[in-house]
Structure 1
Amino acid sequence: MADRRRQLRGGLDHMLEGESPVPREKEMALTFKRRSMNIDLQKSLKLLDEAVSPAHPAQALSRTPRQGLLRHSVYTPKKVSSASKFDISDIYTPTHGSMIVNVSETSHSQQSALQLPMEMDATQDLTTTNVNLLLDEDPGMAASTGLYADFDQCLRQNGAPHQVLDLLSCFESCLSEQVTILRKLVRRARLEQQKFQKTYTTLDLLDKERSTWQLIYSLFKDRLETEATRGEGSMEEEDIDMVTDAKQRLIELSEQEIVNKLFEKDGSLRQCQLVVDWLESCAREDLDAVADNVKFFTDQPVVWENTLHQLQSRKKGTSINTERPLVDQLDPDAPVRQRRYLDDLDKEDEQRLLQHLFMCIRAGQLDKAQELCQSCGQAWRAATLEGWRPFHDANRQRLQATLAPITGNPQRDVWKCVCWRMAAEGKYDPFETAIYAVLSGNLKSVLPVCHSWYDCLWAYFRTLVDVKVEQEVRLRSITFRKPVDLPPQYWDRLMETTQVFEELEASTDQRIRTECQQCYHIIQKHVILGDMPALVEVMYNWVKERKTLPQHLLRFMANLVLFLRRVGHETNEELCTVILEAYVELLIKSDQKRLIAHYVSFLPPHLQVQWYAHFLEGVKGQEERQVCLQLAEEDGLDVAAITKRVVENIRNRDAAVVDPNVSMAINVAISEDDRQKIEAIDWLVFDPSQRAEALKQANAVMRSFILVKKHNAAREVFDKLPADSINVVYKIWHAKTGSTSLPPADDNAVREYMCTKAYLDAMESYNDWFSLYHHSKPSKPSSAEVGSSFTDRVAFEHRLKQYDQDLERWQYKLVRQTQTTKDRVYNVLLFMDGGWMVDRYEDPDDEESRPQQLATLRRMHIPALCLNLHHMLHSSRLYSECLQLADSIASEHYQLYKEFNKDDLQQLLRQIRESSLCLLDQNKDPLGYDLV
């Protein structure tokens, strides 16, 4: 029997290391048979193993084994307990189904809303999609990208004030799905691969976020219900409650009823209860992971079978000599009483059993712990776990035909005192000590087996609730005997929740102190304390002090801020705004185009314009821009102000001040920045109501191009505006006000638009003339050589005749082009109502730089146009008109001479002098008049 047991134990050790033992034929345990049924798993996962394994066989590594099945690890949350606000069955005691009011029995809808999907079994085949995710550079981030859109959808679907709890449930549900996917990925991943280390990090973040939303749901549900109850209560109801309480004082209440009443009236204790419920629900996942794997040593109804075998062998005279003395009795207290040992295999079984029992209690599953004890043949131990229950006898107050069952332990104080002393002795296994320490409120004896922040927090809050409940029971309970006094150290744990976190942060365990500084643990701490303003301030500091935050953490922070707004929680709006801005910036960088407008809508109006305009600056393509504007309109953003800001931001990039008095080489080629400024005008032409603004912004862009003589770029901007823009501006204004007179800003914009058109037409016409005059004139054919043949002479005469015809056509075109150019240049020089680029009205809201730019344009281009016009007229031998140009420049009506500097004026006078000399050669006076 012992040999067989050792063989099975060897198989167990292999199993705990993640490998299946090799069973012998006909002696294979049921558990091993179940494992052998999954042998086809290797075939279904072969493709995936090849995808994540090194290419060279020599580099192939063994599959990552699962963690020790019974090793005490950090408990991760699985689902929120469906405990009601009066439930102490999961906190004060880790079992369910007691006579204490249990929220899980009164809130089935809540439970269904929070129920997480079952974790995918390791034997389930991975789909092609999962394989593709594994091949991604960062599988974790690739698999969880959809969370941004999922959370946005949750906000949209649960926007009503009464849907705040549904919103939290939706958040938690989205995260549960993602956590399931990531767990499926990491189950087939290799830790040594860098990209899968990122996946593990992402999984840890999402898992902690999920548990945080569960905590928020549990606590805020109770808080909101409490506030609603207080708001609906009236003075009459309060009076009735006072009378009812007075009557109840005259009635002898059982311990169970005292506890129930305590949780009804004490909101802070109820919140502590919910925290314990949450922590226990977080631990159930680890418990579920090992539940099936511990059955192979719980199927034996005999306790300590190996020790029994040794004793029986000794009695028969065939015992095996052992170095350590074994017990000679098999009662539960024998090892401690006799100070002797069990067989090594039994001792190992006992340690594993106790560890698993503690895991059950840590997960709030006392019933499972008791079932496990009974299946192991330790029914006595299951009975010892019952002593914590508060006593209740329903037959004492009302006689019934059928007696109601009596629940709880009437000697609970004695049982508790014994458990406390037993835990304090230190003679027992650490996990056995912790089990009875938890049930008796002995915190000091529980902490040695708590190896994570979650475990320690559970131990503290579990003890806190236990002490407060015990205090109330001893104060209110009416008994015929004096309760057994508990040690003074027990009452030292009657502390506030803030003290719990202070002690954790000052823990002697470096790991616990480190975990206290983790982001989600800090968030959970403030949520438990109910100090949301402090939490917002902490998150604000993270955003300001840390250059990079995990993307999913930033998403959580932004949505938490929106939730706090939804429930009307008082927080610093400026700090909340900074957090939302950081998330909007993340969405922009992540190219989440369809989500940005919604989150931007939660910002103040001026920041809505700023951030959405910043986003639109990087949007390319006509259809994509229209979609983005439509999304902004659906979310209530000021589209007109945003598109205006977009154009202003783009056109103000690298804006340089041009000094017309300083000569410099100008590159007239259209750069990429210029192209962006040109295309920016498209933002303002989608909506006809913005046509006036489109004119103003287009004018500003064209001014900047004309200042640096990029006329082609200015023409492209001009062509961006529809031809009927001026007519549209007048129609919209008339429809709005009934007046045909535009406001000063719009009138000035229309006038500048016409000035720009006149200038661009003049420059294009002059360039056409220049090209025609200097590059298109026909070349005279060379004369025939002396002594050439008759054929050559005929050919020459034909070429000469063709030249004469081409020259005549060229001269005709030149005359017409000269006249057209002259008219267009004069349209600029002699522009109506005050001159070119001169506003007709003063606009107090005008841009500060605009008047200066208009003056600069006049100083730069009017002298240049005059010189170009003179050059054209002089080259066309229209000398009299050259002198007429001088008259126009000197005219006091137009005052064009004021725009000339000394050098330009001297150059113009020299050219006019040459024209006057040419007139003298034509027998005319210097001013172009015929001589008498």
Structure 2
Amino acid sequence: MSKELKGTLEEFHDAFVSYKNNVDIITEKYINICQKRIKYLNKNSNSIQLYDSIELLYEKLELNTWKLIQMLNRHCKSVSEPDICYMEDPYISDASFASQFLQNEDLKKVYTVREWLQDICSPYSIPSLKKDSSFILSTTNQKLNKEQSKLSLEPDKKDKEFDEKLSKVIYELIRRGKLEEAIEYCEQCGQPWKGASLRGTLLWADPNYDKEEINDVASGNRNRDLWKSLCFKLANEEKYCSHERAIYSVMSGTVKNALAVCKTWEDYLWVYCNSYLENELSKGFKASARYVVDDNDEADLYLINDNLIPESTESIFDSLLKNENEKIRKSASEPFHYIQKMIILNKYKEMIIHFKNQLEESKTIIGTPVNTDLLRFFVHFILLLKNSGMSYPEKESEYIITTYINYLIKYKKRTLIAGYASHLTNENQIKSYVSLLKTIDEPSHIKKEYIKLAQLHGLDTSSICTVTVNSALSDIEDSFPTEIDSTIYKNMSNPVTNSDIAKIHTLEWLTFEVSLVKEFFLQSNRLYRYFLGIGKIAAAQELFNFILNINTVQCKLDDNKEDQDIFMSESIVYCGLIDAYNSYKTWKNIMDHKPNDNLINSLKTLKENEWKSQVIEKTKEADQLLNTAILLLVNLIKPNEIENQEEGSDVMEGVEYTDQSDLFKRQMIQNIYIPQIFLWLHTIYFETKDIIPEMITILI
């Protein structure tokens, strides 16, 4: 997908979210988006590269597909059962019979497909009729009286080149469903007999019978079947040019002689659909006994024999896949032509399953790209089916939508995810949105906006936030030490890393809902254990500061003293340990900055007295905090906790521990820090024994 066109991802998303309950409007929006994309690519066609030209082709094919879906949707709304009693009336006109006969669902669909193929046909510019144009009438024709020319039913000799070009124009107009324009064009070119011939395809209609109190002239061809058989014979006349034979072939409802002028898959499909409709209508007329022929010789006049006439819509597409023209065979296998085929055949379930399998194959084969535009189309088609109440393969559809969400995450179209995730099962909603949240490393207020988006689309944000944090912190379980080594003590002096900060700020996902307060403190304690278990006291300090700054959570806790006791009991231990460590560092820093001996005596005495006062103050503070930390750590696991753990009851008061791993980690923290604190205390007592004599007593 080109960089300039990635914005259309938002356009498709916005169109679907805004109009998802109205298929007609939403398909119109999709059509407009595709037209906009095509206009952009055409505008830059001078510098277009191979990739862009392929993209332009895909855009046109997608546009045509949305038009097909829109027209078939309208067809579904208008289709009704044929009025059999009305059709059995032998006096109704052919046009009235045909209008009822074509109400058959399958025939109505093919009729709609033919209209669609006429609608999407590329614009055709009718050549100028001026004398200086390439269409030059013969000298004989130029001398004919204008009135005589209009009344003439027999063609005069004319220039062969003119005849071929005229036939081409007529065919191109008929191909686009513009029969009246083709007839008018014949008259403008001075060949009204051709126009009169084309009128032979019009069904006989008698408004005086079909409608009450109407006094009008009947029109159309009462001998249309006979006229069609004559067209069939003319189509096989080799003396006519290819386009003229194609005109007669189409009018007779045959295929063979029309294919010679077909260039595209759509052209071929139009010829086959036209043939199928014409022959089904002829069968309907014959079955109704409207045309009874007893004379075998006369019956031969109506004979039309073309083994390419399709027997069903299935056979139409089989013919395209087996076509002699390699280009058409290849085109029939193009993704969007395949999609159009399956939609027409009402096999969209099989189509969705097939595409899902292709996606799986592209993931297993390294280097196989996924067509993201095709993926986007399938997602929006599936959602149309879902919102229309139509059945679809849910498991495969979930896979396709999930894959699309992953690509949106890759393209950083983050605000679009919630809208699509809302159409997944609850489990996949959570997985998809968690995948998104794990990629977001933004300030808290931006994170909150993504949670609001999820809530707007009805996602389970509590579960999503919980799973996000659990997933982001999953690696800390494997990193926790199983035994005490020197690395832990070396880490105590290490600074906070970006990775540490990222882990801490992951907890922000748990600060946007009151229901997640408990989970917030459970996860923060989990992170405390990790940092302290690997010796990262500075990171634990950063976590402590982070929690203090989460005012919203703090306020919520203050409202419930009981919850505060429950959730804070373990974290208080870790906070006490951090305070004790900081007091020891402060004490050590003062001890390391003893006044310089080079100072003059009076100044030295003053500085030493100030220093000793600070040492005494910080020693008492450190002594108190370190001893408090020991008491807290001792109570981190109560004497009867292991027994209670085995019995399945709650352990440390107010905190639920049902995981043996948590117990092990708290034991490890005790084993790391209680001996270390005693060592720090011993250092303090020993280093200050000369300044504070009573420390000798403690040492002894």
Offset at 1:421? 1.4
**What is the match of residue 372 of structure 1?**
185
Structure 1 residue matching 2:54: 3-state secondary structure: helix
Residues 164 and 241 in structure 2, CA contact (< 8 A), matched pair in contact too: yes
2:534 is equivalent to residue 694 of structure 1: no
Q: Which amino acid aligns with 1:211?
A: N
Q: 2:570 aligns with which of 740, 745, 752?
A: 752
Q: 1:360 and 1:308 mapped to 2: Cα distance?
A: 24
Q: Does residue 1:190 correspond to 2:15, yes or no?
A: no
- The amino acid across from 1:526 in the alignment is M
Please tell me the residue identity of whatever aligns with 2:611.
W
1:256-405 alignment, distance < 5 Å = 256-264=95-103, 266-283=104-121, 285-287=122-124, 290-291=125-126, 294-295=127-128, 304-305=137-138, 332=155, 346-395=159-208, 403-405=215-217
Give the structure 2 partner of residue 803 of structure 1.
604
More helix by share: 2
Contact 1:394 1:404 in 2 (8 A): yes
* DSSP-derived class of the 1:618 partner: coil
| Structure 2 Cα separation of the partners of residues 641 and 214 of structure 1 | 40
8 Å Cα contact 1:414-1:484 kept in structure 2? no
2 CA distance for matches of 1:603 and 1:523?
23
Q: Return the offset for 1:575.
A: 0.8
By how many angstroms is 1:300 displaced? 7.3
Q: How many residue pairs are counted as aligned between the two chains?
A: 664
User: Partner of 2:240: helix, strand, or coil?
Assistant: coil
- 1:528-579 CA distances to partner (integer Å, 9 max, x unpaired)? 0111211211221232222432322222111111111011221221111111
**Matched residue, 1:49:** none
Distance in 1 (CA, whole Å) between partners of 2:445 and 2:588 is: 41
User: Are 2:565 and 2:654, in contact at CA under 8 Å, matched by a contact in 1?
Assistant: no
8 Å CA contact retained: 2:580, 2:625: yes
Distance in 1, Cα, partners of 2:212 & 2:518 = 88
- Structure number with the bigger relative contact order (C-alpha 8 A, sep ≥ 6) is 1
Choose which of 71, 74, 99 in structure 2 pairs with 1:221: 74
1:568 aligned to which of 382, 389, 395 = 389
SS in 2 for 1:392: coil
1:521 match: 337
Cα offset for 1:468? 0.3
Structure number with larger C-alpha Rg: 1
Instruction: Supply the AA of the counterpart residue of 1:349.
Output: F
**The one of 469, 474, 499 aligned to 1:673:** 499
- Once the two structures are TM-superposed, the CA of residue 248 in structure 1 deviates from its matched residue by 5.5
Distance 1:166 1:685 in 2: 40
Q: 1:869 to 1:302 in 2, by over 3 A?
A: closer
Check conservation: 2:573, 2:636, Cα contact below 8 A: no
Note closer, same or farther for the CA distance 1:438–1:637 as it changes in structure 2 (3 Å cut): same
**What is the one-letter code of the residue matched to 2:101?**
L
Query: Alpha-carbon deviations, 1:273-292, whole Å to 9, x = none?
Result: 00111011011x322xx23x
Q: Which runs of 5+ in 1 are unaligned?
A: 1-137, 231-240, 311-329, 335-341, 735-739, 782-795, 885-914, 916-927
Match of 2:487 in 1: 664
Equivalent residue, structure 2, for 1:459? 271
CA distance in 1, matches of 2:586, 2:332: 77
Residue in structure 1 matching 2:28, options 157, 164, 169 = 169
Task: Please give the residue correspondences for 1:68-79 in structure 2 after superposition, counting only pairs within 5 Å.
Answer: none
| Further displaced range: 297-306 or 762-771 | 297-306
Shift of 1:200: 2.7
- Aligned residues with identical type, % of pairs: 23
Residue 409 of structure 1 pairs with residue 262 of structure 2: no
Secondary structure of residue in 1 paired with 2:199: coil
1:767 aligns with 2:593: no
Matched, 1:648 2:470: yes
Name the SS for the 1:819 alignment partner: helix
* Alpha-carbon shift at residue 657 of structure 1 (Å): 3.3
Counterpart residue identity of residue 680, structure 1 = T
What residue is the counterpart of 1:418 in the other structure? 230
Aligned to 2:147: none
Residue 358 of structure 1: SS of its match in structure 2?
helix
Rounded to whole Å, the distance in 2 between the matches of 1:673 and 1:399 is: 85
Per mean C-alpha deviation after superposition, the further-off stretch among 698-707 and 448-457 is 698-707
Q: 1:165, CA displacement in angstroms?
A: 2.4
Distance 1:709 1:805 in 2: 39
Q: CA deviation at 1:490?
A: 4.1
Compared CA separation, residues 498 and 871, structure 1 to 2 (3 A): same
User: Alpha-carbon deviation of 1:883?
Assistant: 8.1
- Kindly provide the amino acid, as one letter, of the partner of residue 575 in structure 2: K
Amino acid at match of 1:180: K
Whole-angstrom distance in 2 between the partners of 1:475 and 1:522: 34
The 3 A distance-change label for structure 1 pair 660 and 247 is closer
- For residue 365 of structure 2, what is the aligned residue in structure 1? none
Q: Which residue of 2 aligns with 1:925?
A: none
CA contact (8 A) 1:748 1:840 kept: no
Instruction: Kindly state the Cα deviation for residue 173 of structure 1 after the two structures are TM-superposed.
Output: 2.7
Q: Structure 1 residues 821-830 or 714-723, which shifts more?
A: 714-723
Displacement, 1:814? Answer: 1.3
TM-score (norm 1): 0.66
- Give 1:145's aligned amino acid: K
Is the contact made by 2:570 and 2:655 (CA closer than 8 Å) also made in structure 1? no
Structure 2 unaligned regions, length at least 5: 144-152, 363-367, 642-650
Residue of structure 1 equivalent to 2:319: 503
> One-letter code of the match for 2:250?
V
Counterpart in the other structure of 1:154: 15
Q: Partner of 2:415: helix, strand, or coil?
A: helix
Indicate if the aligned counterparts of 2:20 and 2:384 stay in contact, CA closer than 8 A. no
Matched, 1:554 2:361: no
Structure 2 partner of 1:7? none
For residues 44-68 of structure 1, the C-alpha deviation after alignment (integer angstroms, 9 at most, x for no partner) is xxxxxxxxxxxxxxxxxxxxxxxxx
Residues 300 and 377 of structure 1 are in contact (CA less than 8 Å); yes or no, is this contact kept in structure 2? Answer: no
